[in-house]
Amino acid sequence: MDIKWTKELSVGNEVIDSEHMNLIGLTNGVVHAILKRDCAALAQAFEMLEDRLHAHFVNEEKIALAAEFDYSKHKQAQLYSLRELRHMRDELLAKNCVWGDGTVDHFTRSLRNWMIDGHIVKLDMQMKPALLSRPCDFKNIADQK
Ligand SMILES: [Fe+2]
């Protein structure tokens, strides 16, 4: 079953929420490729997710700093999160799409937890008070290079 963004997952910022919706869609794409046992689609889905995640981390940092949120620990956690994703990708691709049902189950659950619980709930939700205390939507900040 696909994971979905709900308003309970809002971190109080339109730009970040919209990027999270997109990342959730891309995470579902990875899960679909695992369920189909399609290695080519899986490699592509992981690449798209990682690309968007990089861009998201850059935007998130700009927005957090503009909201005067102490970002140092957050940044470390993001790097760890990226390593976790790469580790999952490498483990899956190393098995050449010969995954038993237990492996499929384990990784689909891990990916959903990684995105929702790990990234949004445990990590980004910490920024919510700072983001809500600022009237700006930070759209221009996220667009800056
Ligand atoms: Fe995020």
Q: Rounded to whole angstroms, how far apart are CA atoms 118 and 8?
A: 15
CA 124 to ligand 1 centroid distance, Å: 6
| Ligand 1 midpoint to CA 79 (Å) | 12
Split at pLDDT 50, 70, 90, the class of 145 is low
Distance 84 CA to ligand 1 centre (A): 15
Mean pLDDT over the full length of the chain? 91
- In this model, does residue 140 exceed pLDDT 60? yes
Helix then strand then coil, in percent of the chain rounded to 5, is: 80, 0, 20
pLDDT tens digit string along 6-45? 999 999 999 999 999 999 999 999 999 999 999 999 999 9
51 inside domain: yes
Please give the structure tokens belonging to residue 25.
């869609």
The stretch 94-114 carries a mean pLDDT of: 92
Please tell me the distance between residue 41's alpha carbon and the centre of ligand 1 in angstroms.
24
CATH of the domain at 111: 1.20.120.50
By the 8 A CB rule, do 93 and 41 touch? no
C-alpha 15 to ligand 1 mean position (Å):
10
Judge whether 3 lies within some domain.
no
Residue 122, domain extent: 12-135
| Model pLDDT, residue 10 | 96
Q: Is 42 part of any domain?
A: yes
For 12: left if phi > 0, alpha if psi spans -120 to 50, otherwise beta; the answer is left
pTM: 0.91
Q: How far is the CA of 76 from the centre of ligand 1 (A)?
A: 13
96 pLDDT higher than 90: no
Cα 120 to ligand 1 centre (Å): 6
